[in-house]
Chain A
Amino acid sequence: MRLRVKFKKYGPVRFIGHLDVMRFFQKAIRRAGIDVAYTGGFSPHQIMTFAAPLGVGITSNGEYMDIEIHSITSCEDVRKRLNAASVPGIEIIFTGLLPDHAENAMASVAAASYTVRFREGRAPTADLSAFIPDFLSRDHILYTKQTKKGARELDLKPGIYEFTCSGGGGCETPSFHILADASSAGNIKPIQIMEAFLAHCGEVLQENALLITREEIYTRAESSRLISLEDMCCQS
């Protein structure tokens, strides 16, 4: 059986890196006494897959992990036990069983949504929302990605599915909603979109200016409709 676990990550633990979140769950699962399956061999490890790594410092309302289990009391009982074995800031909000032939969390990822705000004092003063229609009507949104091998130019346009802004008038700081490609082939980071957008507005993104929350991770269902990874479960 495969169990999908959805959790939030917030507060000080947002600084825990992806590999350490995996280590955390390996131990939490043992503390919770969940009947998890192990690989064979001399160094067996839990059969576990994460949907998508979350960057250090980013909070999330929708992280996913699949674990292979031998038996289960009930999804709700597992959720409660995992929460009892967790730390403040890593909170399990959903557990559900996957259909037998469902793709695993990592392979399923097609898109992710984010809320992006500016840190205090690091937002441009201009009314950015006015620039959005023009930004989205461009044929190409080019972004230069710095990699170890040098610079590479990306076109973000095809991967931006939704980009809206609320607030931002007067004293309010604007809050952006992003839905973008998060598949392994075309993953776009929200910071890349914001950088390109600010450049479009004639502004420069300051260092560590953004407060990013990942809201949800989606997969493509029939007729390429986006559904949350949670909705892939058959039983919860």
Chain B
Amino acid sequence: MNQKLALSDDILLKIEKPERYIGHEINSVTKDKSKVKIRFAMCFPDVYEIGMSHLGIQILYDMFNSMEDVWCERVYSPWLDLDAIMRKEHIPLFALESQDPVKDFDFLGITLQYEMCYTNVLQILDLSQIPLNALERGEDCPIVIGGGPCVYNPEPLADFFDLFYIGEGETQYERLLTLYKECRASGLSRVEFLRRAGKLPGIYAPRFYETAYHEDGTIKSFLPVEEGIPAIIRKEIQMDVTDTYYPLKPVVPFIKATQDRVVLEIQRGCIRGCRFCQAGQIYRPVRERDVETLKKYALEMLKNTGHEEISLSSLSSSDYSRLPELIDFLIEKCGTQHVNISLPSLRIDAFSLDVMSKVQDIKKSSLTFAPEAGSQRLRNVINKGLTEEDIIRGSTMAFEGGWTRVKLYFMLGLPTETEEDIRGIADLANKIAAAFFETVPKEKRVNGRVQIVASTSFFVPKPFTPFQWAGQCTREQFIDKAYLTRKAISEQLNQKSIKYNWHEADASVMEGVLARGDRRLGRVIRRVYEKGGFYEAWGEYYDHDRWLKTLEECGLSADFYTHRERSTEEILPWDFIDCGVTKEFLKREWAKAQREEISENCKVKCQGCGAARFGGGICVETAR
């Protein structure tokens, strides 16, 4: 047993949840330091319970540790209590398994899952005692590499990373690490390694690129500054999702993580093509995992973890072709073993209601619909193929089956949205309540009523979506829209059955700035961090005015990045990335959105998005 702890007993007894920092969890991997060549610290820049719930890191952790000469360990953001102590006592940030300082590692990999964690990235670097700016790092510093969905526009973080890995991690890391070993063996410098790494597929080395700007602040050019550095970087993709790495022995935390269950990723990608959704574009094409393999994995992972729940993970589980077979198998095997089955992202229909009635307590569970927009017109704009009829029919069936709770998710501020569309949210919620009263006779109503919870978030345009050119609403517009929604709901006949929740508008504005931002935002992120900003994905630590003021100090404005509608001719900060889906396709979809035309999903008709060039997944299956 590794008895060593980076933190003293005095500290561990003083802070909240010391278990976050001691490692030793079941299935965590310990190796003999003297026998490995590469030490890799894999970081999720948020608190342990959130980071430990992330499947991607578990996959990479398993992959790296399957390499004999690599030892991959985990790092999470210390919570504020420990953060303060580490700064005061100059304790360097450490990895959980060995408890060794991160600064002594070869690599520090940071996954970027959401924009509001960007200041936490700086906290990680700072506590690790690694210079924040990549250009200031010496030969002894770890190579700092970023991955995850936010690297589809890495530019706001370009100053702080040595490399970005664009796409799915399964494919290029082995090559990258081999290159690293070769460079080290032949005594090459850090910069030379980065130069060579930047020529590998999917690897972006930001220091070898330069951006020039027009006077109006838009990009004039974005080019490599050295011969041989690629101008375009294509995303990496694991085409065979069955014959690849999967963490059959995921780490099981002692404290309850957000995701306290076995997670079975059944497929990657989504056939739907909702125009607001980045995941629906960047993970194309859809690739299904073999159902027999999944069955085997499910049993093995339950055995290896002892978890009492299993959850299927994908962007749209109902679209997995072998779903009924897989669920039947799980119900049969899990029922006898006291394992709960959780099925997020299911479309509500007769099949899913039947399944849900078998695996959930109907009295306690609720039904979830994500119409995203209140009117059919606007649902056509965003290409959300869910009709009012679908929702009313699904709800009616559910009410007949005994459900009494319905959750509805909407977005406010979608392109072309009018007051009518917003009123449609209230109208739809009212119609669902009316369907309940029509369906369920008085004497059968549990507690006498139905509960409908309508939640709205604010739409933030993301790179590589057909809405990447769209103007985002201002904070004031967002708030007006939320008030209008609330008012419209309060005017409904069944308003007593409808509860309305809305998100804060402030953070959505900054999320929008960072999502479509450029390199100049690096200074802003750094200054906000230096003024004490981190953990800003946690509402209570988010300071909107600090961001606005800092933007102003740096001569930038939020509106430039958010509110401004971009021309399709403009050079976008992320144009150097090729995510498989072509710009031509996105332009077509943007035009169709404005004409309120829908596009059929990949299973019905290929829309020629460009992902077919990867030569697999749904693109090949449909063509057959």
Contacts and interface: CB of A to CB of B under 8 A. Distances in A.
Contacts of B337: 30
A88 B30 CA distance: 12
Contacts of B18: 15, 56
Interface of B: 1-3, 5, 9-10, 12-13, 18-19, 22-26, 252, 254-256, 302-308, 337-338, 361, 364
A28 interface: yes
A13 interface: yes
A20 interface: yes
A12 B24 contact: yes
A11 B1 contact: yes
Given A23-B254, A26-B308, A89-B24, A16 B10 contact: no
A88 B3 CA distance: 10
A27 B302 CA distance: 10
Contact of A20 (B2, B19, B26, B304): B19
B364 A31 contact: no
B598 to A, nearest CB: 41
B388 to A, nearest CB: 33
A128 interface: no
Contact of A30 (B3, B9, B19, B308): B308
Contacts of B305: 27, 31
B306 A27 contact: yes
B5 A87 contact: no
Interface of A: 11-13, 15-17, 20, 23-24, 26-31, 33, 38, 42-44, 56-57, 85, 87-89, 119, 207-208
A20 B306 CA distance: 14
Contacts of B302: 30
Contacts of A119: 9
Given A38-B338, A208-B13, A87 B25 contact: yes
With most chain B CB atoms within 10 A of its CB, the pick from A29, A57, A208 is A208
A208 B256 contact: no
A33 B343 CA distance: 25
With most chain B CB atoms within 10 A of its CB, the pick from A26, A57, A87, A119 is A87
B255 A20 contact: yes
Contacts of A44: 338
A13 B306 contact: no
Given A15-B22, A89-B24, A208-B9, A42 B254 contact: no
Given A20-B256, A38-B338, 13 more contacts: A13-B254, A16-B19, A24-B26, A26-B308, A28-B306, A30-B308, A31-B304, A31-B305, A42-B364, A57-B12, A87-B25, A89-B24, A208-B9
Contacts of B10: 207-208
Contacts of B25: 87
Given A12-B23, A13-B24, A38-B338, A88 B254 contact: no
A33 B302 CA distance: 11
A207 B10 CA distance: 8
Contacts of A12: 1-3, 5, 22-24
Nearest to B26: A87
A87 B24 contact: yes
The 10 A-B residue pairs whose C-beta atoms are closest, nearest first, are A27-B306, A88-B1, A30-B306, A31-B306, A15-B18, A42-B361, A12-B22, A20-B254, A16-B254, A57-B13
A183 to B, nearest CB: 26
A15 B1 contact: no
B461 to A, nearest CB: 41
B19 A17 contact: yes
With most chain A CB atoms within 10 A of its CB, the pick from B3, B24, B337 is B24
A146 B26 CA distance: 37
A56 B337 CA distance: 32
A119 B19 CA distance: 22
B9 A57 contact: yes
Contacts of A28: 26, 306
A16 B21 CA distance: 11
Nearest to A30: B306
Contact of A11 (B3, B9, B252, B304): B3
Contacts of B364: 42
A31 B24 contact: no
Contact of A15 (B2, B12, B307, B338): B12
A208 B1 CA distance: 24
9 contacts: A11-B24, A12-B2, A12-B3, A12-B24, A15-B22, A17-B19, A30-B308, A31-B304, A85-B306
A3 B315 CA distance: 44
B25 to A, nearest CB: 7
